[in-house]
Structure 1
Amino acid sequence: MREEFLITRQGRQYVLFAGLLDEAHARGLRSIETELLQVPEEANGMTAIVRARVEMEDGRTFSGLGDANPQNVGRSIAPHLIRMAETRAKARALRDAVNVGATALEELTDGEESPPVEEARSRRPRPVEEAPPGEGGSEAGRRGGRVRRSQLELLRTLAVEARGENGVERLERHIGKPLSELTREEAEAWIDRLTPAGGRE
């Protein structure tokens, strides 16, 4: 697994779905098929369940189940339960296919791995003027180098989870510049602020 697709938060490592897919293609991914097992409705607590099946070129197959309901996804994702369940199912099947034990970032809001949605949403970033040293383009911040791709992907995901579909734009306005222009130190600080407490140890 390429390092750019791995994220470490408080001693726990996560992998990006894009990384799982990239690794699977590198190892000979032949196909991914998904099947909707349960349509979300009031009778089942609005829970969508999807099964994914991954086939590799050598004939091996791997499967995974993914579920999503309003209690284990962020508010902005709630209208897209089937899509999230499918993503989680594919992530779990791909993890087995490429032998990755780390939880996929897309699974972070799964059950006990995350706090209640409102708790996570309440962890808002401090205003820019309160940012710690090194985050405002200082010499120390510049020494950290440009934001890594993995940091950028994680920040975008966390922004959408915390602030809705236009979360990236709102976060960039709050910070005062595009996420792609952050230093590594700045990105790390904002990731810490936006990461749900359930993703920490």
Structure 2
Amino acid sequence: MDDWKLTFHLPLHRYLSVFAYNAIHQFNIDPSSFLPVNDQNTLLNLMFCPLRTICGYYEVLSSIWLRNGEQVTVQAKTYAKSAFSSSMHDADLFLLQLISCYVEPNLFIETFLKRFHVYSWLFHSKTASNLDSSQQISMLESALIALCAIVVFQPNLAVCETKHIRSEIVTTLAVSDRLYSEVEENVPDPSPLSTNRKGIEVILQQ
């Protein structure tokens, strides 16, 4: 698998992530019933796409993809934008969180740091890095941020949850007055059919 190929638009593993989230949180199903928890190689393969995408997002922020023009920056910002995060960034992050529970810890950290291109720098590996010093520092900072997110972030990938939508609306309006379009834009929508849009209207009318 090529560490230097990047796309934000591979959805298959995100379907697995949303399925896993709802199976666990809505139906109390044990992940071991649908994940190969005893097969480290398969878990690492499942981890590749979400980890590569999150790492790629931070690569863009670290100006590693600068020569690819503004379009990749726009895609990265869209990937993490609150209105789409539930079906993109948060889905990737939850799958990483889930897999990290079953991958051997040292193996997980080693794989994680290698994907962020800082393993050789931290552990003085013979493998030379393609990044300059400023990019290495930026990617190390990004790796630590991503690790913190894996440990503490609580994504919401439920298909529809009025309580969560209400909380997001209250948080958005607490910052400042917003137009309806701005509220709609800032409320994450985990549903690919955008069924939560109607929920926003109902809540705002109350």
What TM-score comes out, normalization by structure 2 length?
0.26
Using CA pairs under 8 Å that are at least 6 residues apart, name the structure with larger relative contact order, 1 or 2: 2
The answer to which structure has the higher strand fraction is 1
The answer to which structure has the higher helix fraction is 2
What TM-score comes out, normalization by structure 1 length?
0.26
